[in-house]
Amino acid sequence: MPEKTIDHAFTATGLTSAATDPTYAGALSFMRRRFSKDISGADAVVWGIPFDAATSNRPGARFGPQAIRRASAIFDNDPQYPFGRDLFAQMAVVDYGDCLLDYGNHQETPATIEREAAGLIADGAFLLTLGGDHFITWPLLKAHVAKHGPLALVQFDAHQDTWFDDSRRIDHGSFVARAVRDGIIDPARSIQVGIRTHAPEDFGIRLVYGHQLEEMTATEVSQLILDHVGDRPSYLTVDIDCLDPAFAPGTGTPVAGGPSTAKILSVLRKLQGLDIRGADVVEVAPAYDHADVTAIAGATVAMYMLGLRAGRLAEGR
């Protein structure tokens, strides 16, 4: 096999092209993209934030980026379904590795994430973040809003994350309330899909509860999102606990009654019309997983996010 190489994450000579590593071997970057701290020329950057000190139930999402990268190895080589193309034929993508955080000084965490994220998006690259618990979306939103202005939040989740926040808490259940209060997101254009819990406030955000989602088709859900957000620039966040525990057992706060992986992927596939400026996949906690079911779901969601970005680039947007 003289034309093939292994460890594409290190041996790749460019930021495009498919890998040829066996799925069971090789360096495990996200979808075999080149590991690099040099993001010049990158259309998109994948980045991990191994943080779970904000969890209210089971910890373990700090291992999420590792698990998602490992599961993503199954997507290399072949054209990515359902996009029917090698996503990296034209889209240059770098795996930047992980954010370095001081585990003994959590009050420094938000500023560290925000500062590094701001640097990664400064030149216009699309940032796809692998979490980590859902608190990380707060500093990520701040970094994106500093560049793009207030955004619509498109959130797939079992929880609203709108609990009380004193602006100092490190809490994965209150970042949306803080984002609304601080003018980071536009609640009138924001939407939360898959909600299966109650919170004291909804702040005017459009809610699609779990039972409503169950009764709607994927086309109906995606059209609702597109109509509600409109042409507003948006940030897409997927908490893996949006899925029913049957499809995502490896998460910190599982809630029964959620959708299947197939249903949510079908919705995501139809969101090509959204002007998504950044995205994340959070709350994959592999210690509670079985046969990498949750990690595979998280990696597939992340791949779809890159697929949406590749589609917009192909359209010149």
User: Structural domains in the chain?
Assistant: 8-314 (3.40.800.10)
Tokens of 96: 């930047």
The per-residue pLDDT for 1 is 46
- Whole-number pLDDT of residue 14: 83
Read off the pLDDT of residues 140-161 as tens digits, 9 standing for 90 and up: 999 999 999 999 999 999 999 9
In this prediction, residues 195-223 reach a mean pLDDT of 97
Q: Are 209 and 255 in contact (CB under 8 A)?
A: no
Other Cβ atoms closer than 10 A to 162: 22
Q: Is 119 exposed, middle or buried (0-12, 13-18, 19+ CB in 10 A)?
A: exposed
* CA–CA dist 265, 283 (Å, integer): 17
Alpha helices (runs of H) in 175-260, residue ranges in sequence order: 175-181, 210-215, 218-229
C-beta of residue 157 within 8 angstroms of C-beta of residue 176 = no
Residue-wise pLDDT for 163-192, tens only, equals 988 878 888 889 999 999 999 999 999 999
Encode pLDDT of 254-303 as tens digits.
999 999 999 999 999 999 999 999 999 999 999 999 999 999 999 999 99
Cα 141 to Cα 144: distance, rounded to the nearest angstrom: 5
pLDDT (average), residues 25-42? 94
Sign of CA dihedral 272, 147, 99, 46: positive
Q: For 9-16, what is the mean pLDDT? A: 86
Yes or no: say if 218 and 234 are a contact pair by the CB < 8 Å rule: no
Question: Where is pLDDT greater, at 250 or 8?
Answer: 250
Residue 287 token pair: 């210690």
- pLDDT value of position 2: 52
Kindly report the average pLDDT of the chain as a whole number. 94
Q: Quick one: pLDDT band at residue 317, thresholds 50, 70, 90?
A: confident
Residue with tokens 């996200």: 30
Confidence class of residue 207 from pLDDT cuts 50, 70 and 90? very high
Q: For residues 204 and 110, what is the distance between their CA atoms, to the nearest angstrom? A: 26
C-alpha distances in Å from residue 89, one per residue of 15, 127, 279: 9, 19, 21
Q: By mean pLDDT, which of 32-36, 79-83, 233-237, 266-270 is the weakest?
A: 79-83
- Residue among 227, 192, 224 at smallest CA distance from 206: 192
Answer whether residue 47 shows pLDDT above 60: yes
Q: What is the pTM of this model?
A: 0.96
Q: Helix (H) and strand (E) counts for the chain? A: 9, 9
Chain-centre distance for alpha carbon 122: 19
* Token output for 216: 């709607």
